[in-house]
Amino acid sequence: MSTPYYIPDENVPLPPKDADVITTACDYCIVACGYKVYRWPVKGGKNGGSTAETNAFDADFPVAPLGPWVAPNQHNIVLHDGEPHHVVIIPDKDTEFVNTDGDSSLRGGCIAQKCYNPEKPTRDRLTSPMMRIYGILQPVTWDFALDIAAEIGKYVIKKHGANAYGVKTFSYQYMENTYAISKYALRSVNTANFTFHDTPSDVSSTPGFRDAGFDNFAPAYEDWKNAETLLICGTDPYETKTILFTQWIMKGIQNGQKAIFMVPRKTAGVAYAEQNGGLWLDVTPGTDLLVVNAIARIIVENGWQDKEWIEKWVNDKWGSSSGFGQGTRNTPWQWRTTWGKFQTKGFDDWSKWLLSQDEFKLDAAAEVSGVDAAKIQLAAEMMAKPKEDGTRPKTSIMIEKGFYWSNNTGNTQAISALGITVGAGGRPGQVIGRGGGHQRGGVKGGKYPRNKSPMKLPGRRRRALDTDTWTMAGHTRFAHVIGTTWIQSMLGSQQMSARFHELTRGNPHQIQSINREKILETLKKRVDSGGMVVVNQDIYLVDPIGNQFADIIFPAATWGEEDFLRANGERRIRLYQKFYDAPGEAKPDWWIIAQLAKKMGFEGFDWENSNEVAEELAKFTRGSRKDFNMVKVAAKREGKTLHQKFREMGTNGIQGPVFMNDDGSLEGTIRLHDTTRKLPTDGPAALNMFNKKLTHFNSQTGKCNIQKSPWNLFSDYWEWMKPKGDELWCTSGRANERWQSGFDDTRRPYIVQRWPDNWVEINTEDAKKRGIESGDMVLLSNDRVPSLKDTTLGVEGSDYSFSGQMANGNVEFSEAAVTAVAMVTRAVKPGVMYMDFLHVSQPANALAGRVVDWISGNYNYKMGVAKVTKIGESPYKHSFRSMSFAPRDIVI
């Protein structure tokens, strides 16, 4: 960890002419900007000079704006083949895509500081496997750690069943790793106790998109620029996926695009849009659906819908009844059919429903959402009112977590219907999709064994196992946690932490020997007595899952320490190259999983390197949005490895799905659902595969389903959660300068200087009433955090609501409290506070209810509520070295 004190350097070494140049992409947000690593030996002291003839950039210093300048934070020293080397890592100034102009965010811009350097705050990387003996983690050998983990794993599966073996893992940290992990968990262990870092069970993030037939990542980055009106819900891309804003949306706005933001907080992107003809819909948390449907209602009332598009691309009664292309058994079909809550007979039927709902009338929606009625009216006009010449504005819609993690099912159904109404979804500049959070590095190596989930509801529906309620109930006896904090990332975090402690360190059976048999005996007693053994695989020791609860630690290698593949938010796949040695004995996740699997007696894990994993997984991408099987076919034809072929594509990579032309060249896919795309009329040649989603939507008919989005399926929870008395909403999200839990940022002196502690934004009026000033230390508390005791319980449709669960006695209440430094600002809506979403010691998620969306199974993370009181002053209030309390909405 770094101290909040940073002394900047006043010079920086430049790479010499003969420095190695290695391409990669940024490790952080969805955009994945292209980068170049310049590497040269420390030995010999041969640095580059200030003239174009003497440095690797061919540039004279000082360089021009946008030129290849090297900030001191872009330099580091690493070991390469055991020898110290300089590395300078800057955005690729020559890239043709993504971060055109050689642009980069602060996160990626300082990525050189991610590299392990024992002289810097990254010195606490995990470098050896460890085992907790007498309560203290001590280094052991890989063989010993793997052996104990495998023996206990086998024992748990045999004695307590595969579902007692839980795997909680990142979904995105490179394809080779996610493939190996899911192959192991789903195919080999075959457990239903499996889920990803951001959800309690294996569910869709955007149920409404799935039902409508929209892929989350269909759009191309150029579409976000080329839209004439862009509605952005639940995110400011400037703060979260920077380069998508600065290189694409900002250029769109400069071309006259009207950008409409629906978020409770005004940050730089929102302020820029407002300054340039856009709009800020300052929505109260959880009420997005009302605003979206009020917009839709105005459009329908005025007849501004895209009639030709709807005629051609929206399912009628027969089309929607033909299904969703996924069968009914494993989808929440009762909501659509038996209970009729969502399904419609087509656009007219949907319009009739929309107009019959009083809560979507402009004034009603304005009142509950707190958004000015005139702005809602203006948004409808910007999105759909025909221009004077009769043509329609090209309108696109982007959503992200502030929106789909507030009323998961309702919001995503409503926005899909609005998208269809304005003709967004299948044409250049007219698209609908997610902006994205992390990058897309998931490839499944096995099928989720849904039939093994005990969480079965009446009718034929079986839900994916909710790993949080399952673990809280004591059914997880072996938890294998990979690259996630688990506890702080989920809701009701503080109750989970207490329960984890009880199951692990609170159990009487603790390792007090280095003898293999005694260790095994102890851990078997632990699991048989209702306790839990935890294996934690990560790059740093995470508190508390690794630091306090884990029995065994596996140190992982990461970005830059192995060759890996991953896709970005427009499905662009690149090779992230290894350029330095992983610290100590840290190994890539695929390797760790392979050794463990072999010790468990599973077959199919005999990979020698990450390219072999990539070549195996390529065929499982077929038909998916990142289908790159044909890249492997091309590589084999040319006598190359798959990684080698991708290496040649550098930072440009290629957009999935990838096809091979008759001449052997490869062709990517600009956007999915591209109704303007012409595929070869004679069908796919050779091994090419044409999926419906290339030119149509993801439904049985290839047309969109337009669905209802009733407010009353959610309104009881919203009414119950909404602030009472002195409480305020306390929603959460990202800040541009930090990534995820801050695992890298807390080890960067400059970022720690900027954000030395957890913080909460409070509106000026709300703060004044409570006697709070910027820099005060405040306590945020919630004495009524609801949690579901068991999986959603019920028989009838009416049971499946928050009131139904309350009536059935399935909700319990607890208290939560976190501290933060107050930032009093004009840039957040009155009545709403905003906190960084994942400080490991002060998790915002503790303040929101551990209640899943009863239709989708997802959490509504953004619905936190808290009382805020001043408990003192932080050291940052009167000193000038760290933090800033200036507002984040300052414009040019």
Interacting residues with another protein (CB under 8 A): 8-14, 50, 61-67, 69-74, 102-106, 109-110, 238-239, 242, 246, 250, 267-269, 272, 736-737, 750, 753-754, 880-884, 886-888, 890-892
Beta-carbon contacts of 115 under 8 Å, excluding residues fewer than 6 positions away, are 76, 78, 87, 122, 560, 580
Query: Is residue 133 within 8 Å of residue 511, measured between CB atoms?
Result: yes
Considering beta carbons, is residue 1 or 891 the nearer one to another protein?
A: 891
* Minimum distance, C-beta of residue 370 to another protein, in the bound complex (Å): 24
Secondary structure of residue 114 in the 3-state scheme: helix
CB of 887 to another protein, least distance (A): 6
CB of 434 to another protein, least distance (A): 22
Nearer to another protein, 66 or 807 (CB): 66
CB of 8 to another protein, least distance (A): 4
- Please report which helix (H) or strand (E) contains residue 288, including its range: helix 288-302
Q: Name which of 12 and 133 has its Cβ closer to another protein.
A: 12
The residues pairing with 872 across neighbouring beta strands, listed in sequence order, are: 777
Q: Report, in Å, the least distance between residue 88 CB and another protein.
A: 11
Q: Quote the longest CA-to-CA distance of the chain.
A: 83
Cβ(259)–Cβ(230) below 8 Å: yes
Closest to another protein by CB, 55 vs 805, is: 55
Give me the least distance between CB of 77 and another protein, in Å please: 17
Cβ proximity to another protein: between 718 and 739 the closer is 739
Residue-wise burial string across 615-653, b where 16 or more C-beta atoms lie within 10 A, e elsewhere: bbbbebbeebbbbbbbbbbbbeeeeebbbebbbebbbbb
CB closer to another protein out of 687 and 886: 886
- For the record, the structure tokens of 380 come out as 């409808």
Neighbours of 773 (CB within 10 A): 14
Residue matched to tokens 């020293």: 77
In 314-346, which residue ranges form alpha helices assigned H by DSSP? 317-321, 333-336
Nearer Cβ to another protein (203/253): 253
Q: How far is the CB of 224 from another protein (least distance, A)?
A: 16
Q: Which is nearer to another protein, 71 or 362 (CB)?
A: 71
Token pair 């990669």 is found at 24
Nearest residue (CB) to another protein, 219 versus 749: 749
Q: What's the CA gap between 314 and 697, in Å, rounded? A: 10
Q: How far is CA 880 from the centre of its chain?
A: 34
Please state the closest distance from residue 780 (CB atom) to another protein, in A: 23
Helices 175-182 + 610-617 axis angle, to 10? 70
Cα 308-314-317 angle, rounded to 5 deg? 130
Residue pair 132/93 in contact (Cβ under 8 Å)? The answer is no
Nearer to another protein, 86 or 625 (CB): 86
Q: b/e string for 704-731 if b means 16 or more Cβ within 10 A?
A: bbbbbbbbebbbebbebbbbeeebbbbb
**Nearer Cβ to another protein (774/791):** 774
Task: Report, in Å, the least distance between residue 90 CB and another protein.
Answer: 9
- Residues 504 and 135: their CA atoms lie apart, in Å, by 11
617 or 760, CB closer to another protein?
760
CA distances from 508 to 52, 149, 513, 527, 790 (A): 67, 19, 14, 11, 26
Nearest to another protein of 397, 883 (CB atom):
883
Which of 854, 852, 707 has its CA nearest to residue 413? 707
- At closest approach, how far in Å is the CB of 259 from another protein? 14
**Residue pair 508/529 in contact by the 8 Å Cβ criterion:** yes
Structure tokens at 61: 């210093």
- As a dihedral over the C-alpha atoms of residue 824, residue 826, residue 832, residue 836, rounded to 10 degrees, the angle is -60
Q: How far is the CB of 638 from another protein (least distance, A)?
A: 38
Rounded Cα distance between 728 and 228, Å, is 36
Q: In the complex, what is the shortest distance from the CB of residue 223 to another protein, in angstroms, rounded to a whole number?
A: 21
CA distance 285 to 407: 9
Residue 290 in contact with residue 360, Cβ under 8 Å?
Answer: yes
Minimum CB distance to another protein, residue 392 (Å): 31
DSSP label of 116: -
